[in-house]
Chains A and B, each alone.
Chain A
Amino acid sequence: MNEETEVEGTSLWQNAWRRLRRNRLAMFGMIVTGLIVAVSLVGPPIIATATGYTYDYIPSRADLIRSFPPLSAPDGSFSLSHPMGTDSSGRDILARVLLGGRISLMVGIISTLVSLIIGIAYGATAGYMGGHVDDVMMRIVDILYAIPYMMIVIVLLAFFGGQSPLRQLFLLFAALGAVSWLTMARIVRGQVLSLKNREFVLAARAGGVSTSKIILRHLVPNTIGPVIVYATLTVPSVMLQEAFLSFLGLGVQAPLASWGSLANEGIQNIAVFPWQLLFPGVTMAVTLVSLNFLGDGLRDALDPQTRRTS
């Protein structure tokens, strides 16, 4: 430290980054998350070129004869050429897990973005408007909180889904995003409430800036800390919900796969081929643990006063 020679203020972000770096669990989470994202992005094409296996590739008889002995065990258990074994149709589980990871991560991220957009818009409006508007808007959130929304999502997916895998995926994004914005709205509202009477907002208003611009340009950027923290924690919870739905056969549909739908396929053969469930399941658990560690670490780093672990 050469503080005497060079006095430089540390910004909020520099402080947060330093605290985060000291948190070993959070760094572990960050590295593992990064690795899993990278591997799911880069892995499938590599496997496809190396072995010809893709997520929907079903080997022909000739391929089976060529690829199973001697590199692979005859019952489809794991081996050099198939590190995670093969599934009931002879497809490489590693390739499927990686491609499933893409879908699972995508659902997590896109649904979180949807919930971010709705939550920020709603929360910021309610917080800034205040008064009756705020009362009504927040009462609606209270009511929605109490609704068993997963049941409604199940009804939605079962009755509207099933036409095409892509459509099902969009339904998933919309449904999961639409139900996870409530807490986000509350957080943003709370932040905006505490910010809106500060001088810089007053100055902006005195300068004739429009309401929408005050909300978007002055208030929302200042709520970013808690929002990032909550968004990081929303990703794993949305992924978990997606996995539930896919596990029940209502989420991602073949030929697309996600960790949940792979686990659903795997559980059929649990007694004989347990790895068909364990590999996608454990990959998912590891990802969620890392994301949760990262989110917790971010909360501690960005918001050191309210160090709670809930």
Chain B
Amino acid sequence: MQDYRFDDNIDNFPIAMAYVPWQHFDQIFDNLEKAYRIGTIFPDLDKPFTGRRCV
């Protein structure tokens, strides 16, 4: 199985497959109560659902 790096050109990936970019450990929220309310400790994953588009 070929391993695709996340910075490879997405046009070279096999079509019709879904891809999830690999998460890298960067930082966590300083304010853990805020993280608790948001639902993740990772600022990268703070993706509020708007019902329409990605944030």
Q: Do A and B bind each other?
A: no
Binding site for A on B (CB under 8 A): none
Binding site for B on A (CB under 8 A): none
